[in-house]
Amino acid sequence: MANNDKENMLKKIISHAKEYGFVFPSSEIYDGLGAVYDYGQNGVGLKNNIKEYWWKSMVQLHENIVGIDAAIFMHPTTWKASGHVDAFNDPLIDNKDSKKRYRADVLIEEHITKIEQKIKKEIAKAAKRFGDSFDENQFRSTNPRVLQYQENIDAINQRFKTGMANEDFADLKALIEELGIADPVSGSKNWTDVRQFNLMFATELGSVAEGASKIYLRPETAQGIFVNFLNVQKTGRMKIPFGIAQIGKAFRNEIIARQFIFRMREFEQMEMQFFVKPGEELTWYESWKERRLEWHLALGLDPANFRFHDHLNLAHYANAACDIEFNFPMGFKELEGIHSRTDFDLKAHEEYSGKKLQFFDPRENKRYVPYVIETSIGLDRMFLAVLSSTYTEEVLEDGSERTVLKLPPVLAPVKVAILPLVNKDGLPEKSREILDLLKYDFNCQYDFKDAIGRRYRRQDAIGTPLCVTVDSQTMVDDTVTLRHRDSMEQERVAVAALHAKIGGLVTFSKTFQRLHV
Ligand code: ATP
């Protein structure tokens, strides 16, 4: 998709999400609050279903994974130990003309991406020219133009890394100027100095200012798991390897937040820390990479929208890391992170708390600090991935148009709509009887207003996989029309068979059975 089309697609999704009660800007009557959003009546349904899918696939399907729900506020030393107080920073830079704020590292990375695209173009051209005999590796290592581009990239990367490591912000600014990087919005190259900016929100605990102490809103849920490692291990009598899962809010004072719910200041994470024996972490890392991709694909989402991005520059505490990237309307971007975090976090908490956070292995008669594999996915990003990839505009055979969310049925906020064809002749009463049969197990909607075609369109727009239409024949033989959202096919089904039929399509069992756990 060209950039313009991508922007249009994102705009369409944002307005659809608002029009149909999925996502609203926060406190909109006061013109909203930057990068903070509220989920509406349908959004909360979709979000809760994503949570349920994640939670059950972790906690219910794994004997050795348990869940917790830790508080958002934590002892401030937690964030000293985790490194967030000292290092959870982004280098920011402002453009003096447009007054727009950017992350200096992102500006430089985007510049590098542009050079990489030039290399790709050269390769594509050559591949076309040489046909089957084309050898990409050989071309990369010999073509003078490509070599020059690559040399440029390496030099920029090297200077960028050194600048970041030494916090030499003057040189980062100099680099931005030397590369001629312009504000993507205004084209201006009039930059301020680069400054460090800590992303944690701080507040005060205690009612009087003098006695109050500074605490933070957690920037990730993971630390709530680490500090509870021993509590859970002991009370749950957990044996290594085992995992602790958690879903909860996290807060980051993001510098740039212009991509709808992709980058929010208040968001939700679904994180699982898997504790393993040192030395076995890379095998577990590979296994979790595979299992997490499988979790996404089991929903029936298009595999072409997913890819792994292996990290080459590893954080100091990680010995392997990758992202699962998703093809969002803005292009491929991080949806989920999978990290092999070694024993960094538990060791740091041991050091700062003075408590031993170790596991005693009775088979080896040995005590050790476990290594950790983390899987961390943003719930809101998953929501956007599902919403954006299932949003479909269709022209039907009769020339009419419909907008349909082809949500995986297990995630759809409303599973079945019950629609009396006309609002008389006993059909409403019969419809409500059917509703009573179904509502204890499925989220249903009853709708009698407008022509049936319009009611189908409304359900299509919120992704309801099934519509049950009650008509005069129902009164005679106790059958209804079951209409399927994607194919728009209709079949006649006995009321007595409805529950089982719907259940087979919208409950998680079949999706879970696709997972290798
Ligand atoms: P990014 O590089 O995009 O800022 P990150 O690498 O800082 O993300 P992690 O710290 O690995 O992100 O967080 C784990 C997951 O939490 C991410 O994969 C993402 O899905 C989600 N996440 C992180 N920051 C945000 C945010 N501001 N808004 C929504 N989701 C977020």
Q: Enumerate the domain spans of the chain.
A: 22-70+218-395, 89-198, 396-513
**Domain 22-70+218-395 in this protein, CATH class:** alpha beta
pLDDT tens digits along 277-333: 999 999 999 999 999 999 999 999 999 999 999 988 788 889 999 999 999 999 999
* Residue 188: pLDDT band with limits 50, 70, 90: very high
d(C-alpha 241, C-alpha 243), whole Å: 7
d(C-alpha 288, C-alpha 372), whole Å: 12
Distance of CA 424 from the midpoint of ligand 1 (Å): 52
Give me the long-range contacts of 186-189 (CB less than 8 A, separation at least 24): 186/95, 186/97, 186/98, 186/100, 188/95, 188/96, 188/97, 188/98
Q: Which atom of ligand 1 lies nearest, measured to the CA of 271? A: 14
* Residue 481: pLDDT band with limits 50, 70, 90: very high
Predicted pLDDT of residue 2? 66
Residue of minimum CA distance from atom 19 in ligand 1: 378
Distance of CA 377 from the midpoint of ligand 1 (Å): 8
Read off the pLDDT of each residue in 183-206 and give the average, rounded to a whole number.
92
d(C-alpha 118, C-alpha 145), whole Å: 10
Tell me the two tokens of residue 189. 């190259």
pTM score, whole prediction:
0.89
Task: State the amino acid at position 451 in one-letter form.
Answer: A
pLDDT of 167 strictly over 90: no
- With 0-12 / 13-18 / 19 or more C-beta atoms within 10 angstroms meaning exposed / middle / buried, residue 468 is buried
Mean pLDDT of the chain, nearest integer = 95
Q: What are phi and psi of 185, to 5 degrees?
A: -85, -50
Residue 328, number of CB atoms within 10 A of its CB: 23
Read off the pLDDT of each residue in 141-161 and give the average, rounded to a whole number.
94
Distance of CA 200 from the midpoint of ligand 1 (Å): 13
Which residues does ligand 1 sit against, CB inside 6 Å? 220, 252, 254, 263-264, 267, 269, 334-337, 376-378, 380-381
> Lowest mean pLDDT: which of 76-80, 231-235, 258-262, 444-448?
258-262
pLDDT tens digits along 109-139: 999 999 999 999 999 999 999 998 899 999 9
Q: Looking at the DSSP assignment, which residues form a beta bridge with residue 276? A: 371
CA distances from 231 to 77, 78, 145, 238, 358 (A): 18, 16, 59, 10, 11
* Residue 258: pLDDT band with limits 50, 70, 90: confident
pLDDT of 49 strictly over 80: yes
Distance of CA 16 from the midpoint of ligand 1 (Å): 24
d(C-alpha 391, C-alpha 329), whole Å: 11
- Write down the CATH number for the domain with range 396-513: 3.40.50.800
pLDDT of 215 strictly over 70: yes
For 393-432, give the secondary structure using H, E and C.
EEECCCCCEEEEECCCCCCCCCCEEEEECCCCCCHHHHHH
Predicted pLDDT of residue 315? 80
Mutate to test the pocket of ligand 1, among 267, 372, 375 (most ligand atoms within 8 A of CB): 267
Residue 214, number of CB atoms within 10 A of its CB: 10
pLDDT of 37 strictly over 90: yes
Predicted pLDDT of residue 4? 74
| Interaxial angle between packed helices 169-178 and 144-165, expressed in degrees from 0 to 180 and rounded to the nearest 10 | 160
d(C-alpha 397, C-alpha 375), whole Å: 45
Read off the pLDDT of each residue in 330-349 and give the average, rounded to a whole number.
97
* Residue 185: pLDDT band with limits 50, 70, 90: confident
pLDDT of 51 strictly over 90: yes
Asked whether the bond before 241 is cis by omega within 30 degrees of 0, the reply is yes
| Local structure of residue 489 (DSSP, 8 states) | -
Nearest CA among 417, 418, 426, 437 for reference residue 472: 426
pLDDT of 255 strictly over 90: no
pLDDT tens digits along 484-505: 999 999 999 999 999 999 999 9
pLDDT of 47 strictly over 70: yes
* Residue 3: pLDDT band with limits 50, 70, 90: low
pLDDT tens digits along 360-419: 999 899 999 999 999 999 999 999 999 999 999 999 999 999 999 999 999 999 999 999
